[in-house]
Amino acid sequence: MHIHILGICGTFMAGIALIAHEAGHKVTGCDASVYPPMSTQLTSQGIELIEGFCPGQTRLNPDLFVIGNVVARGNSLMEEILNRNLPYVSGPQWLLENILLDRWVLAVAGTHGKTTTSSMLAWILEYAGMTPGFLIGGIPRNFGLSARLGASDFFVIEADEYDTAFFDKRSKFIHFRPRTAILNNLEFDHADIFENLSAIEQQFHHFVRIIPGNGLIITNGREESLKRVLARGCWTPVETVGVDNGWQAKMLPEGQVEIRFTGNFQGILQWELLGEHNLMNALAALAAARHAGVPPNIGVAALARFQNVKRRMEIRGVCKDITVYDDFAHHPTAIRTTLHGLRNKVRSGRIIAVLEPRSNTMKMGVWKDSLADSLAAADLVFCYTANLGWDVKSALASLGARAETCDSLEPLVTAVAATCHPGDHVLIMSNSSFGGIHERLLKAIDERPRNDQA
């Protein structure tokens, strides 16, 4: 079958493209903006990408158009598909009907940590010899690809609560029918489609309703929002993480972590990842893998070899003793925990935070009152304000002279490069390519005179 994917460079749709290609289908696709890392992995697999949504793409005559949720009414290619009554389906529905129906699906849901936890879980199963399939919203370094078909019944998927398509407004994760489900956390996000936290909790309740009685729900025992979700009805056994009667992690000297479940010792993890949030992610992954048959001691051994995900505290380069990191953080909670994790690592070293508020919720200004507090652990803050409809400078006023705003990329790069001292840590946070700022900044630092101490 030939499928043509609209919105192919989104993390989810790119994963579908890789899986469909591996399953033997002919795959082509298009998107408005084609950029790494998804475009790189697609072209490396021989998948043809077309820039834009010109109606003439219908002349490719695919058997089926697979529609990503980036596509709305008014999209010229989509209008042509509708006018000609050509066959189309959403990405999640295609995945369910063609890949997931006969699999043991392990789904990872939550506002934060889905990508990292999914990557940990897939790696634990791989380390245990279970060759799982997976579809993850990032590229785990242990695999080098964001998705694969796998060679067993097990399939790990990042379960997003965002809507499915313009013609199916249910959350994506409703299509995945998991047997094992992780509920990492639950905060308000996606203000473009959800009115409030209660509306998101409703979608998580719908998700819980489809998990079978012989399955397992692993939930963050510290989250009141998840407690409310489960209180609305739960028909599946539940294990908790981060609380005394569930899965626990205790930090020991020299980067070691003691893992316990209901008070019983499970193993000692040699750990390098930053932050309490990653320990919670690890506990959830261990619990889910145990449900799939992996003993916790094997899971602990696997996590000691976990290499994290691209764009999760990824070091993009070190120049003149200045380290530049890339991170996907774009919600105040993620920004705060990422900065705190880096602070615990670098101690007294200066942290320069460079933020692009680009998610729909950020662009709407929903989090403007929380933004300054989330950035408080940074020594200096630079915020990119292009295409924002609210006053970022006022929102960051409590940070005083520590915060600067800039509405153009080149002056932003110049300002950050001029500010850096040897020994500094520059943390760039965005859920987009941010105009290639990482390479531009490293180049600007490298081109500074050697006697320039900023």
Instruction: Show pLDDT as tens, one digit a residue, over the chain (454 residues).
Output: 999 999 999 889 999 999 999 999 999 999 997 766 677 889 888 899 999 999 999 999 999 999 999 999 999 999 999 999 999 999 999 999 999 999 999 999 998 889 999 999 999 999 999 999 999 988 898 998 899 999 999 999 999 998 999 999 999 999 999 999 999 988 877 667 788 889 999 999 999 999 999 999 999 999 999 999 999 999 999 999 999 999 999 988 877 899 999 999 999 998 877 678 889 999 999 999 999 999 999 999 999 999 877 777 788 999 999 999 998 877 888 888 889 888 888 888 899 999 998 887 787 888 788 899 999 999 999 999 888 888 888 989 999 999 999 999 999 999 999 999 999 999 998 887 888 899 999 999 998 876 555 4
Superfamily of domain 2-92 in the CATH hierarchy: NAD(P)-binding Rossmann-like Domain (3.40.50.720)
Going by C-alpha positions, the residue among 257, 221, 259, 216 that lies closest to residue 238 is 216
CB atoms within 10 A of CB 399: 18
CB atoms within 10 A of CB 376: 15
The span from the CA of 362 to the CA of 331, in Å, is 8
Angle, alpha carbons 197-221-305 (nearest 5°): 105
For tokens 């990119």, the residue is 384
Cα dihedral 75, 331, 384, 139 in deg (nearest 10): -70
How is 238-305 classified by DSSP, letter by letter?
EEEESSTTSEEEEE-GGGEEEEEETTEEEEEEE----SHHHHHHHHHHHHHHHHTT--HHHHHHHHTT
pLDDT attached to residue 451: 58
pTM, entire model: 0.82
pLDDT attached to residue 347: 82
pLDDT attached to residue 328: 81
The span from the CA of 247 to the CA of 8, in Å, is 38
How is 386-454 classified by DSSP, letter by letter?
TT--S-HHHHTGGGGGGEEEESSHHHHHHHHHHH--TT-EEEEE-SS-GGGHHHHHHHHHHTS-TT---
276-291 and 296-303 are packed helices; what angle lies between their axes, rounded to 10 degrees? 140
CATH assignment of 314-446, among 3.40.50.10440, 1.25.40.10, 3.40.50.1820, 3.90.190.20:
3.90.190.20
pLDDT attached to residue 387: 82
Domain with CATH 3.40.1190.10 in the chain: 102-303
Q: Are 135 and 145 in contact (CB under 8 A)?
A: no
pLDDT attached to residue 366: 82
pLDDT attached to residue 232: 96
Going by C-alpha positions, the residue among 284, 247, 353, 348 that lies closest to residue 124 is 284
Domain with CATH 3.40.50.720 in the chain: 2-92
The span from the CA of 73 to the CA of 6, in Å, is 13
The span from the CA of 437 to the CA of 444, in Å, is 10
For tokens 């630079």, the residue is 382
The span from the CA of 378 to the CA of 426, in Å, is 10
The span from the CA of 224 to the CA of 185, in Å, is 9
- 3-class DSSP state of 116: helix
Non-local CB neighbours of 253 within 8 Å, separated by 6+ positions: none
E strand or H helix at 4: strand 2-6
pLDDT attached to residue 107: 98
- 3-class DSSP state of 118: helix
| Amino acid sitting at position 46 | G
Going by C-alpha positions, the residue among 176, 166, 426 that lies closest to residue 314 is 426
The span from the CA of 15 to the CA of 38, in Å, is 9
CATH assignment of 102-303, among 3.40.1190.10, 3.40.50.2300, 1.20.1440.80, 3.10.450.50:
3.40.1190.10
